[in-house]
Structure 1
């Protein structure tokens, strides 16, 4: 953990509108900025409810994939260029918002993903960027990173740039009211994982710890309520805030082993990001417990269980996830057992995340996690 005296920089959109009924703020902002050709990046579900944005003249790229790849990104960039977009709006979960960030910096630049991937290589954008989350999970509306899969290597390509930070984020929990129980549960555990991994990271920082722990507590107290009753707007609002806090954690600290080990589930087997992280969460929490006993105890208490050993932690976290109605077996989600060693090799190579995990996990440790989860 970094000391309170250690310098830390936080970045977030200059305008954040949060709360029930704030969605019209988007239309007001678009008009106040003089944007005339809004371009919406959305998945098929949210493309079908485009009118709620109140943008009569918007063009929409409405075929964002659950795990977007370079082909999907290239199509979105081409559509934005054809539309002459002057503002890009991410409308959906993390996939739509990540693609929106990349479209905003790539459209008209003549650059491909590999030209800008990595830290601080993206060109400055000449268009506006707004983010409208419709799930409570990724916190992508707050951040400067985007992930897209390279189908040739089956690796997630990370791009990070301040130019991909939104000008405005409009977080209206009413947009999440129709999210089905399974997706509510999976995305909620994703938000939880963001907070937990930042909280237990080697580069955790007291400034971020406060956001992380509050996010963990919000998920622990409200996720089951929202799963059981999607119309519980107090619970939905709490989860939207937890997701936002998770996004705040991602900027200066980021995730660790949980996300690294979850990535091959998406790139190899097209398992959506939220459920992929949920499937891995209890096992990594248990594996890291000996290195972060005090923080792990706070996490366990927030999730409603106690335990001092790794196995007690794993069982408690597993029960929390199963109580949300999630089948926590990899095999139930189509992962073949013979793929586990290759997945372990791929996950172990994601050093940008694993190097900050509180425990140094070997390839065999990761394989053990996969087998336990299988």
Structure 2
């Protein structure tokens, strides 16, 4: 963990609206900026409710699916031609795609020219982000992940130019999210907070956000899963997701995400993949981050005296949300685990910051226990 005196930079959108009904601010904001050609990036569900944005008849790329790939990005950029404002309206997939569309539209750029840190050019269009799930926190971040359709590897792009001009977090937009998706995205939000909190580059500036996010998940996620109309629980989870997004910028995730990424080849949604791996990595890191693990356990309601207690408690927490925690139940073949471990071990941008240096063999053991 970094010392309090260590420099750190925290980037957030200059304008943030939070609370039920705040989506109504979008139209006034867009009009005040004199945007004439707004363009929506959304999944099919949200593309069917564009009227809630108050922008009238508006162009939309409404084909976003989970784990968007480079082919989808090319289609979205082409569809956005002529736009002066890009609006991400959906979960993390739609918002990540919107970030890339905003820096690529009107330009002859390929993703490989801007991927990695600080290579994306300055935007020539506006960018607004409106989450409809409580999970990724992508609305307040500078990072976007796109999948290579051939290798299923995640291509990360990070730039301050992908930071939204405005983020509107309206918990009412999440009330229609079904229980299974609520659980998966909620664990994703928690994983962002937990991994940032226990990272080697964890920082006191970020720890407060991370711990509050974990506590909110412990208090509200089960309630939101059990009753989607629970407005307080939905607001609590929206705030937890926001806190997770704040953590991602200056600190980012570690082994949990690295080990979950190879599951994308089996079309397992990102939130579910994180949930399947979360208990195992938390237990693997428990002794190296004992004090913080104890606070995590207290927030989620389980004992953390031993690594086995951590594993059992975290598994019980996820199972109580209705999640089947076996990799084999999600179509992962046991014969592929060794190759997955090698792939995960290669994601050094995340694993190098994990509190424990996990070998290929140790990652394979995690997969085998999860299987």
- Per the alignment, residue 349 of structure 2 pairs with 352
Off by >6 Å, runs of 4+ in structure 1: none
Residues matched between the structures, number:
371
Deviation at 1:217, TM superposition (A): 0.2
TM-superposed deviation, 1:152:
2.5
1:277 aligns with 2:274: yes
For 2:237 and 2:114, the matched residues in 1 are separated by 33
TM-superposed CA distance for 1:119, in Å, is 0.4
Whether 1:206 aligns to 2:207 is no
The Cα of 1:162 is off from its aligned counterpart by 0.4
Name 1:111's counterpart in structure 2: 109
Query: Would you say the 8 A contact 1:37–1:57 is kept in 2?
Result: no
Do residues 258 (structure 1) and 251 (structure 2) align? no
Structure 1 residue 4 displacement after superposition:
0.4
The match for 1:316 is: 313
- Who is 1:17 aligned against? 17
Measured against aligned partners, the alpha-carbon deviations of 1:137-189 in whole angstroms (never above 9, x if no partner) come to 00000000000011122210000000000000000000000000000001000
Task: Tell me how far apart the structure 1 counterparts of residues 306 and 348 of structure 2 sit (CA, whole Å).
Answer: 27
State the TM-score, normalized to the length of structure 1: 0.99
> Secondary structure of 2:60's match?
strand
SS at match of 1:287: helix
Return the offset for 1:355.
0.1
SS in 1 for 2:22: coil
The runs of 5 or more residues in structure 2 that have no matched partner are: none
1:277, CA displacement in angstroms?
Answer: 0.4
**Alpha-carbon RMSD:** 0.6
By how many angstroms is 1:339 displaced? 1.0
Deviations 1:281-332 (A, max 9, x none): 0000000001000000000000011121111100000000000010111111
- 1:80-95 equivalent positions in 2, closer than 5 A: 80-81=80-81, 84-95=82-93
Distance 2:162 2:195 in 1: 23
Q: Matched residue of 1:170: which SS?
A: strand
Aligned pairs for 1:298-337 within 5 A: 298-337=295-334
Partner of 1:56: helix, strand, or coil?
A: coil
Once the two structures are TM-superposed, the CA of residue 372 in structure 1 deviates from its matched residue by 0.7
Provide the C-alpha distance between the structure 1 equivalents of 2:234 and 2:176, rounded to a whole number of angstroms.
10
Paired position in structure 1 for 2:69: 69
Q: Does 1:33 align with 2:36?
A: no
Is the contact made by 2:114 and 2:120 (CA closer than 8 Å) also made in structure 1? yes
Contact 1:192–1:246 (CA under 8 A) maintained in structure 2? yes
Residue 110 of structure 1 aligns to a residue whose secondary structure is coil
Q: Which runs of 5+ in 1 are unaligned?
A: none
What secondary structure sits across from 2:98 in the alignment?
A: helix
C-alpha distance after superposition, 1:207-244 (max 9, x if no partner): 10000000000000100000000000101000000000
- 1:289 paired to 2:286: yes
SS of 1:290's partner is coil
Alpha-carbon distance between aligned partners in 2 of 1:93 and 1:178, rounded to the nearest angstrom: 13
Aligned partner (choices 162, 186, 195) of residue 188 of structure 1 = 186
Q: Is the 8 A contact 1:283 1:314 kept in 2?
A: yes
**Mapped pair 1:58 → 2:72:** no
Alpha-carbon distance between aligned partners in 2 of 1:212 and 1:160, rounded to the nearest angstrom: 21
CA contact (8 A) 2:293 2:304 kept: no
User: How far apart are the structure 2 equivalents of 1:307 and 1:8?
Assistant: 30
Which residue matches 1:122? 120
* Cα distance between partner residues in 2 of 1:75 and 1:135: 24
Are the aligned partners of 2:282 and 2:311 in contact in 1 as well (CA < 8 Å)? Answer: yes
Q: State the distance in 2 between where 1:19 and 1:11 align.
A: 21
After superposition, the C-alpha distances for 1:52-98 in whole angstroms (9 at most, x for unaligned) are 111113100000120100000000000001xx110000000000000
Moved more, 151-160 or 100-109: 151-160
Per the alignment, in what secondary structure is the counterpart of residue 17 of structure 1?
A: strand
Query: Aligned equivalents of 2:364 and 2:49: distance in 1?
Result: 42
Q: TM-score, length-normalised on structure 2? A: 0.99
Q: How big is the shift at 1:263?
A: 0.6
CA–CA distance in 2 between the matches of 1:74 and 1:232? 38
